[in-house]
């Protein structure tokens, strides 16, 4: 059974359920239609939930209009429709300014619901527009490329950081697999590449819970991993991309990850150091090969780099006994990170300052964490072994369908590819 369906089935009428982690998780999405030809059910579902005659504001771009937008408008011909078709090329840049413009434009038409037809950018913009107007949004997904459809946040590109804003999640998400099957190949690769992050999350979230006491939902961390393993396990060479089972299982993994983020109220179940690095590459415009400049592909490449770095570190763990007082003294004596900051990272200095101002630092926190590290060292080593195997197999499967894993293919020099990594602890 699909992971996302199992999740939805547990929800009580208020959209929440009591989890074994001790918290009550709730989500705002009420329904997901996923399967071949489900788009045809749109008018009936809309009538069932909102009656007929609701004013709809439809957001798409040139490409997604051709993929499903025009068909939605045909299906909804008897509804009062307005909307916006953004240009397809260059791809619309997801900025808060654009979201604001669209919200003003939509407000003039006084819609009762926003219908987004597209993938990550359109879905994020649509959720934000609906949130601004205080009305619900629905989403028709056109590609298995992102986990944004069921998430409760929208991500916008700023000058020095990605801004993640919490918005009302889409009330209904429609994944017509016969529409999504026609998405360009890089969109499939992007969705698959993004899944590698779930393995690093499996390690980093548990590490942070054990060392810093961060809240952890064991079920969320397990579900994220298992839902990612399934589609990656179906990959067997380039032809496997065309398999309907692969599309269904990839869509399931992306929907599930979105739900996990929505219910945790954070991106913790989906992203870790690899996402931070890929965001730096994007914002600093370091990726020279436009064709590969897609979120999930950058995440996949960054995951591979993190794997190499982690392998080195975790290999040292068995011998890495820590003299806690000496280490705390050494940390206290360290010069400020701002001295000698790599000029390539200068634009992120403000971001780092704000992250660090919220972090728990100082001798007492260091001592507590280092002592926890001493205690947990062995268990962390075992956990890392499992995660590295997952990642290695995932990378091999993606290589097998033609995804490159070297900086050069992405049009990055070794120096620019390396840039974010020494700074990740300052960036999140
Ligand atoms: Zn992602
Ligand atoms: Zn939980």
Alpha carbon of 327 to ligand 2 centroid (Å) = 35
Alpha carbon of 261 to ligand 2 centroid (Å) = 11
pLDDT per residue as tens digits for the range 359-370: 888 899 999 999
Residue range 291-308: mean pLDDT, rounded: 96
Within 8 A by CB and 6+ apart from 365, the residues are none
Q: Say which ligand is closest to the CA of 21.
A: 2
Q: Say which ligand is closest to the CA of 217.
A: 2
**Residue 91: its pLDDT value, please?**
84
Measured CA to CA, the distance from residue 414 to residue 426 in angstroms comes to 21
Alpha carbon of 45 to ligand 1 centroid (Å) = 30
Alpha carbon of 296 to ligand 1 centroid (Å) = 6
Alpha carbon of 265 to ligand 2 centroid (Å) = 12
Alpha carbon of 311 to ligand 2 centroid (Å) = 29
Alpha carbon of 205 to ligand 2 centroid (Å) = 13
pLDDT per residue as tens digits for the range 41-69: 999 999 999 998 899 999 999 999 999 99
Alpha carbon of 269 to ligand 1 centroid (Å) = 10
Q: Say which ligand is closest to the CA of 258.
A: 1
pLDDT per residue as tens digits for the range 172-219: 999 999 999 999 999 999 999 999 999 999 999 999 999 999 999 999
Alpha carbon of 160 to ligand 1 centroid (Å) = 18
Of 121, 155, 148, the closest CA to residue 257 belongs to 148
pLDDT per residue as tens digits for the range 217-241: 999 999 999 999 999 999 988 888 9
Within 8 A by CB and 6+ apart from 253, the residues are 3, 195, 227, 228, 230, 231
Alpha carbon of 426 to ligand 1 centroid (Å) = 20
Alpha carbon of 221 to ligand 2 centroid (Å) = 9
Alpha carbon of 19 to ligand 2 centroid (Å) = 5
Q: What is the CATH number of domain 3-183?
A: 3.40.50.1970
State how far Cα 133 lies from the chain centre.
25
Q: DSSP 3-state assignment of 151?
A: coil
Measured CA to CA, the distance from residue 124 to residue 111 in angstroms comes to 18
Q: DSSP 3-state assignment of 61?
A: strand
Residues of the chain with CATH 3.40.50.1970: 3-183
């Amino acid at each position: 059974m699909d992971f996302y369906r199992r999740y939805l089935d547990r929800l009580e009428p208020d959209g929440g359920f009591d989890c074994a982690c001790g918290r009550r998780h709730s989500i705002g999405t009420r329904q997901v239609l996923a399967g071949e030809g489900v788009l045809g059910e749109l008018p009936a579902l809309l009538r069932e939930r909102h009656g007929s005659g609701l004013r709809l504001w439809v957001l798409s771009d040139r490409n997604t209009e051709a993929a499903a937008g025009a068909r939605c408008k045909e299906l909804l011909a008897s509804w009062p429709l307005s909307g916006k078709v953004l240009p397809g090329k260059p791809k619309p840049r997801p900025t808060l300014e654009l979201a604001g413009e669209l919200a003003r434009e939509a407000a003039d038409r006084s819609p009762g619901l926003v219908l987004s037809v597209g993938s990550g950018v359109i879905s994020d913009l649509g959720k934000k527009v609906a949130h601004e107007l205080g009305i619900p949004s629905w989403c028709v997904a056109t590609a298995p490329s992102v986990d944004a459809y069921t998430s409760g946040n929208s991500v916008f590109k700023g000058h020095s950081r990605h801004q993640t804003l919490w918005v009302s999640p889409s009330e209904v998400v429609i994944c017509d697999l016969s529409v999504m099957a026609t998405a360009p190949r890089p969109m499939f690769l992007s969705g698959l590449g993004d899944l590698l992050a779930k393995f690093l999350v499996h390690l980093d979230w548990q590490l942070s819970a054990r060392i810093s006491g961060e809240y952890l939902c064991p079920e969320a961390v397990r579900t994220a991993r298992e839902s990612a393993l399934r589609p990656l396990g179906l990959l067997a060479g380039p032809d496997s991309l065309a398999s309907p089972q692969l599309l269904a299982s990839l869509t399931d993994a992306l929907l599930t990850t979105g739900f996990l983020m929505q219910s945790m109220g954070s991106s913790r179940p989906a992203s870790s150091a690899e996402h931070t690095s890929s965001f730096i590459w994007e914002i600093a415009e370091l990726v020279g090969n436009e064709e590969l400049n897609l979120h999930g592909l950058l995440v996949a490449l960054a995951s591979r780099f993190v794997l190499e770095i982690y392998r080195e570190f975790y290999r040292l763990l068995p011998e890495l006994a820590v003299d806690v007082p000496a280490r705390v003294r050494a940390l206290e004596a360290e010069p400020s990170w701002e001295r000698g900051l790599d000029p390539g990272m200068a634009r992120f200095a403000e971001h780092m300052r704000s992250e660090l101002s919220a972090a728990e630092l100082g001798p007492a926190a260091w001592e507590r964490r280092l002592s926890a590290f001493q205690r947990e060292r062995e268990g962390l080593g075992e956990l890392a072994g499992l995660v590295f195997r997952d990642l290695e197999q995932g990378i091999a499967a993606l290589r097998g369908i033609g995804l490159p894993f070297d900086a050069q293919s992405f049009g990055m020099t070794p120096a620019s590819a390396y840039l974010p990594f020494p700074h990740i602890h300052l960036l999140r």
